[in-house]
Structure 1
């Protein structure tokens, strides 16, 4: 299983592709190839974000949960009870990423 930094790099790379495709689609909104690539990489990003959230903590509020208990107790101070998972994970001064 990839480590935190490897997964963050993968998410960053796919996010860059999506941002670039978004700019292209702003001026070429009917380009089939670009639309297909956008769909492909958007789905890949969703899977990567979901996998990252399952292993570590949510990176966006889209993946925040309130009905979960995390098994990863490294940076989760409330792993044994229902909590707002946005607070899980290291803070920037603990090596976390914004």
Structure 2
């Protein structure tokens, strides 16, 4: 039986994926330009935004990783679907 996934789930995922793209690109740039303070500041800004989104997402929809930000509580929720790549 498949679960109905709310629109907000997709909005979170889309923004986190966009941020991941930016972080990968900035990582590659910083590998060759390690002294670029503006790029480093931008990287840190996007890291903070991603962390904030993950902290908002996980209490609503479950962990993004088996080692996610959400407390495990009294049961292991990682095995509950849908997993991010199944949606």
**Could you state the TM-score of these two structures normalised by the residue count of structure 1?**
0.71
- Give the number of the structure with larger relative contact order, counting CA–CA contacts within 8 Å between residues 6 or more apart: 2
**1:63 correspondence with 2:53:** no
Q: Which runs of 5+ in 1 are unaligned?
A: 68-81
C-alpha RMSD of matched pairs (Å)? 2.0
User: Once the 2 structures are TM-superposed, how far is the Cα of residue 91 of structure 1 from its aligned partner?
Assistant: 4.5
Question: Hey, which bits of structure 1, 4+ residues long, moved more than 6 A?
Answer: none
Long gaps (5+) in structure 2:
1-6
Q: Distance in 2 between matches of 1:30 and 1:15?
A: 22
* Partner-residue secondary structure (3-state), 1:86: coil
CA drift at 1:63: 2.1
CA gap 1:96/1:33 in 2 versus in 1, 3 angstroms = same
Q: Is the 8 A contact 1:14 1:45 kept in 2?
A: yes
